[in-house]
Amino acid sequence: MNSTGKELSQADLIRNYILMGLEPAMQTRLYEDYWRPMELDFGQEAYGNQFDSFMRHYLTVRTGEIPREREVYEAFKDHARTKPVQEAGIETLVKEIRSFASFYCAMAIPGRETNAALSAAFHDLRELKVEVAYPFLLELYYDYAGGRLSSADFSSAVRFVEAYVFRRAICSIPTNSMNKTFGTLGKALKKDRYLESIQGQFLTLPSYRRFPSDEEFRRDLRTRDLYNFPRRSYWLRRFENHDRKERVAVDEYTIEHILPQNPKLSAAWRQMLGSEWQRVQEQWLHTLGNLTLTGYNAEYSDRPFIEKRDMHGGFKQSPLKLNAGLGAVSCWDESAIENRATRLADLAVAVWPAPKLDAATLATYQPAKVAQASEYSIDNHPHLRSDSMRRLFEAFRKEVLALDPCVSEEFLKKYVAYKAETNFVDVYPQAKRLKLVIGMKFADVNDPNRLCKDITGRRLNGDAEIELNSLGELSYIMRLVRQSFERQMIEGNHL
């Protein structure tokens, strides 16, 4: 507790840990030269709210592991006690923290970055709420500040991060694995070809962490509900201001459904949409092709399209890029919505660009295929020679390999391993059943039928064992296997 009775923050604890016990003169100098300027960089409100987050990201960069939010202080103490840090001395540590804090403030606090391109890129990341990428970006900023990464390449790298996060959101790819992605991305960079290396790493991420392709992004962007999409003002602003020097204040406009939301459409709208007007409205109402910006939302109301197009302030007169071409459209039906969606989706590929490397260069970043140390095959498992067990095994392996293209199969002497990054299920063939070891802690398995056996302590690749005796049990057992696979995809291994 501090003097007011309030619980000390992680920042308070870390500051006290660093400064307490030092000679008074040293304590005063370190505080005035490094810690106080850092507090001023954050500002009073941001320091109280954001320093703990900053320190968590800093420790991720320096230790390779993400501390739990309530354990940042303990993680810092562990880091400060390591031999390299102690040998370098307390002033070196505080000086580095102060430098990294300035990098964090430039990214996380509006108005702190002086480079215009970087400032704009950081603004867009903040609006997307991509804090999970800060460990990676802190490492890049460190190299940018040290002259090892140019401002242009740094700005491009930030834009790739933005595109990666936004594309994955549009394509409904779970975000849980991104902490591992960004926590490890910097480790394999070839910094003598910095930007190329960043692109290579993004393009070779495994499928569950992939950078969505242009084709995948276009396809899903055309049909996604973007009206109810979180932070919809973000994507509208990015579309409208792409390649603009004269920026449009998107917040001054309102979002407009060209085809109205009113389920009781007028006769004119029904006639324009055709006999399937209800399906068309339901399918396309909140999608890219039917959404735009206007300052005349109240005037447009539910008017027929031709009136919206030709009225004062209508689509024909609109200066907004998002409304380009609407003045030349004579009929707003399903085909017109799809055509506009296709045009805007093509533009989106440029607004949120994917990395591009030629095939030869990209090949140098492909992970090396690890040669199989084992020469075992299915024929080395005698229990799988019987027709019944072979059928059961083949049905199981088909289901497991279909979970994701990244899943691999390896035959070993006593069992068959199924891996993503590591084993998530191992199969031990027996005479009348398949014994499976689920790669999870027993307590973490959601097993409502209570068929799993606790084998904690047996030093296998998991603590839960279950038997597959017949095809009728396969569906339930695959629910357990899928838990193990998805847990690995979400959490990954230690950074």
Residue appearing with tokens 């870390």: 14
Give the other-Cβ count within 10 Å of 74's Cβ.
13
Q: Please report the pLDDT score of residue 368 as a whole number.
A: 66
- The confidence score (pLDDT) of residue 353 equals 96
pLDDT digit string (tens) for the chain, length 495 residues: 444 456 777 888 899 999 888 899 999 999 999 999 999 998 877 787 788 899 999 999 998 888 888 889 999 999 999 999 999 999 999 999 999 999 999 999 999 999 999 999 999 999 999 899 999 999 999 999 999 999 999 999 999 999 999 999 999 887 767 887 888 888 889 999 999 999 999 999 887 788 999 999 999 999 999 999 988 889 999 999 998 888 888 888 999 999 999 999 999 999 999 999 999 999 999 999 999 999 998 899 999 999 999 999 999 999 999 999 999 999 999 999 999 999 999 999 999 999 999 999 999 998 765 444 557 888 889 999 899 999 999 999 999 998 887 788 899 989 999 988 789 999 999 999 999 999 999 999 999 999 999 999 988 999 999 999 999 999 999 999 999 988 877 654 332
Q: What is the pLDDT of residue 371?
A: 46
- Look at residue 183 in the predicted model and tell me its pLDDT: 83
Name every residue whose Cβ is closer than 8 Å to that of residue 69 and which is 6 or more positions away in sequence. Answer: 52, 56
- Give the orientation angle of helix 334-351 with respect to helix 277-284, to 10 degrees: 10
Q: What is the pLDDT of residue 1?
A: 43
Contact in structure between 18 and 94 (CB atoms under 8 Å): yes
Question: Tokens 């994917």 appear where?
Answer: 354
Residue 442: the pLDDT is 93
Confidence (pLDDT) at 493? 35
Q: What CA–CA distance (Å, rounded) separates 66 from 80?
A: 16
| Pairing state between β 254-257 and 291-294 | antiparallel
CA distance 35 to 31: 5
User: What confidence score (pLDDT) does residue 406 get?
Assistant: 74
What is d(CA 212, CA 102) in angstroms, rounded to the nearest whole number? 32
Contacts of 332 (CB under 8 A, 6+ apart): 258, 259, 272, 305
Q: What is the DSSP letter of 454?
A: E
Token pair of 245 as six digits: 């020097």
- In 3D space, the residue among 42, 43, 51 whose CA is nearest the CA of residue 8 turns out to be 51
Cα–Cα distance, 411 to 374 (Å, whole number): 7
How far CA 202 is from CA of 160, 290, 347, 438, 463, in Å, comes to: 9, 32, 21, 30, 34
| Of 448, 441, 434, 435, the residue nearest 484 (C-alpha) | 441
CA–CA distance from 128 to each of 56, 155, 166, 233, 270 (Å)?
20, 16, 8, 10, 37
3-state SS, residue 163:
helix
CATH 3.90.1150 matches 378-491: yes
- pLDDT (0 to 100) of residue 264: 93
> Which residues does 19 contact at the CB level (< 8 Å), separation at least 6?
27, 30, 31, 35
- Kindly state the DSSP code that residue 21 receives in the 8-state scheme: T
Distance CA 48, CA 71 (A): 17
* DSSP state letter for 244: -
The CA radius of gyration of the chain, in Å to the nearest whole number, is: 28
112, 105 contact by CB (below 8 A): yes
How far apart, in whole angstroms, are the C-alpha atoms of residue 386 and residue 364?
Answer: 44
Domain map (residue ranges) of the chain: 10-214, 217-351, 378-491
